[in-house]
Amino acid sequence: MTDTPTARDGALWLLGQVLEEQRLLSELLGDKRHLRLPPPDRARAQRLATDTLRGLERADRVLKPFLRKMPPPAVHNLLRLATVELCMGGDAHGVVNEAVNTVQRGKRTRHFAGLVNAVLRKVSREGPAKWSELRVPHLPKWLRGPLRDAYGADVLGAIEAAHFAGAPVDLTVRADAAPWVEKLDGTLLPTGSVRLSNAGQVSALAGYEDGAWWVQDAAAALPVRGLGDVAGLNVLDMCAAPGGKTLQLAAAGANVTALDLSASRLERLRENLTRTGLNAEIVAEDALTYTGGPFDAIVLDAPCSATGTIRRHPDLPLARDGAEIGELIGLQSAMLDHALSLLKPGGRLIYCTCSLIPDEGECQIEEALARHSDLRALPDAFALPGVEPVWHSDEGGLRLRPDFWADRGGMDGFYMCCLQKG
């Protein structure tokens, strides 16, 4: 970056970190390099990078005929970024000129200015038509194979289409959602979340400063609702940060203990509690060694591959290779067993993961039920408004996929099950 970085400089840095260093955008957005940008430029940099990652396969296919050999990563990423903009309707003159200016500012890239200019002018003429003819970008092989085995080729294609379409912003409202639909020009989803198709800067929206709502995908808002009335109950939110489920529980009147290993992530949860005026006891500790309770109810949103969130986080399949999934499955099993030891007899536990991989969802519950003779699944816990019969899974849980509600903008991939002890 230069001393006065632009949004495009920020987007290029984000792309380089994801594609070359295998870092996740969620980690990068708090980095001082990103925070150097003014808030509007930060938002634009993130949008440019996210759009480019989502359309990376198409951008590379459009660029391929115009590149005799591969340029350095910084130049290649600049070409990808500009190609996505051009093919998605960006002003050709402005996009090309800004890209050339960007490459000219770098000491190591300035001699590529002529190449960038020539290639992008060809892309501006031929790219948009070719873009629309290209296939929906595929997931990488490490994820595509397991999902095809789990759901079949047709569903896999629908999931990939949902990922490419991106995601609107969903809100969970503390009280009556209906007035906020009108105030924010949103849509009320069947399950009660408010969906915004053109949210813009979230922190600038009405109700944000007052804590009237918080951002939470519609799928992620369902697990807590499976507990029913929690008013007055002592509830543990295990692996709580960044806190959407803690906020739901506190707003519903529960006495919440928010447990998480990461002190920095808990700081964000604390900020959200302050903004919304809600209360919870915050504990920074390893969930596997925590000995509090016993609790009336527990929510375990277990660490997982997060493969259900790709429509919002297109960096994930590019920065990961699936090598960690086996370890995560073992951790989930251990956490589930430990959580049950913290639960009162007769108490309820919600197990959930934002994963599309059955080994992190359905299989975990099947195996837990086999290990614990006093445990049973409660499928009726998710007989909730807006929940469709096809979402229910055979072992008693709920399987959500990005291609559900395709006409409304989809939802995150999520698995959840309500279990009762004793």
Mark whether 404 and 267 lie in a shared domain.
yes
Mark whether 124 and 248 lie in a shared domain.
no
- Please give the average per-residue pLDDT across 292-302, as a whole number: 97
pLDDT at 201: 81
Mark whether 125 and 238 lie in a shared domain.
no
Mark whether 110 and 14 lie in a shared domain.
yes
Rounded Cα distance between 366 and 396, Å, is: 9
79: in domain: yes
Residues 4-30: tens digit of each pLDDT: 789 999 999 999 999 999 999 999 988
The answer to whether 400 and 222 are in contact (CB under 8 A) is yes
- Please give the average per-residue pLDDT across 303-307, as a whole number: 96
Rounded Cα distance between 205 and 201, Å, is: 7
Mark whether 299 and 393 lie in a shared domain.
yes
Q: What rounded mean pLDDT belongs to the chain?
A: 95
Confidence label for 74 from pLDDT (cuts 50, 70 and 90) = very high
Checking if the pLDDT of 2 tops 50, the result is: no
Mark whether 94 and 228 lie in a shared domain.
no
pLDDT at 200: 80
Sheet containing 194-196: which strands, arranged edge to edge? 187-188, 194-196, 169-173, 213-215
Q: Where are the beta strands (DSSP E) in 187-274?
A: 187-188, 194-196, 213-215, 234-238, 255-260
Of 113, 133, 153, the last residue of a domain is 133
Residues 390-409: tens digit of each pLDDT: 999 999 999 999 999 999 99
The CATH number linked to 55 is 1.10.940.10
Query: Does the pTM exceed 0.85?
Result: yes
Checking if the pLDDT of 375 tops 60, the result is: yes
DSSP one-letter code for 46: H
- Please give the average per-residue pLDDT across 33-50, as a whole number: 92
Mark whether 254 and 109 lie in a shared domain.
no
Checking if the pLDDT of 73 tops 80, the result is: yes
Mark whether 226 and 86 lie in a shared domain.
no
Confidence label for 294 from pLDDT (cuts 50, 70 and 90) = very high
- Please give the average per-residue pLDDT across 309-332, as a whole number: 96
Mark whether 368 and 247 lie in a shared domain.
yes
310: in domain: yes
Residues 77-122: tens digit of each pLDDT: 999 999 999 999 999 999 999 999 999 998 899 999 999 999 999 9
Rounded Cα distance between 9 and 22, Å, is: 19
Of 133, 161, 182, the last residue of a domain is 133
Q: Which amino acid is at 372?
A: H
Q: Note down the domain range covering 22.
A: 7-133
pLDDT at 339: 98
User: Quick check: is 354 catalytic?
Assistant: yes
Residues 219-269: tens digit of each pLDDT: 999 999 999 999 999 999 999 988 999 999 999 999 999 999 988 889 999
The CATH number linked to 221 is 3.40.50.150
Mark whether 289 and 410 lie in a shared domain.
yes
pLDDT at 422: 86
Q: Helix or strand or coil: residue 127? A: helix
155: in domain: no
CA angle 382, 388, 393 (to 5 degrees): 65
Whether the ω angle into residue 294 lies within 30 degrees of 0, i.e. cis, is yes
Whether the ω angle into residue 402 lies within 30 degrees of 0, i.e. cis, is no
Mark whether 104 and 224 lie in a shared domain.
no
- Active-site position among 87, 354, 417, 418: 354
List the one residue out of 399, 365, 342 whose CA is nearest residue 223. 399
Q: Which amino acid is at 332?
A: Q
The answer to whether 128 and 58 are in contact (CB under 8 A) is no
201: in domain: no
Checking if the pLDDT of 354 tops 80, the result is: yes
- Please give the average per-residue pLDDT across 276-287, as a whole number: 96
- Please give the average per-residue pLDDT across 310-339, as a whole number: 96
The answer to whether 164 and 138 are in contact (CB under 8 A) is no
60: in domain: yes
Report the number of distinct structural domains present in the chain: 2
Of 116, 133, 150, the last residue of a domain is 133
Confidence label for 3 from pLDDT (cuts 50, 70 and 90) = low
188: in domain: no
Residues 160-219: tens digit of each pLDDT: 999 999 999 999 999 899 999 999 999 999 999 999 988 888 888 999 999 999 999 999
Confidence label for 1 from pLDDT (cuts 50, 70 and 90) = very low
82: in domain: yes
148: in domain: no
Residue in this structure with the two tokens 């006409």, named with its chain if needed: 407
Mark whether 262 and 379 lie in a shared domain.
yes
Confidence label for 139 from pLDDT (cuts 50, 70 and 90) = very high
pLDDT at 369: 98
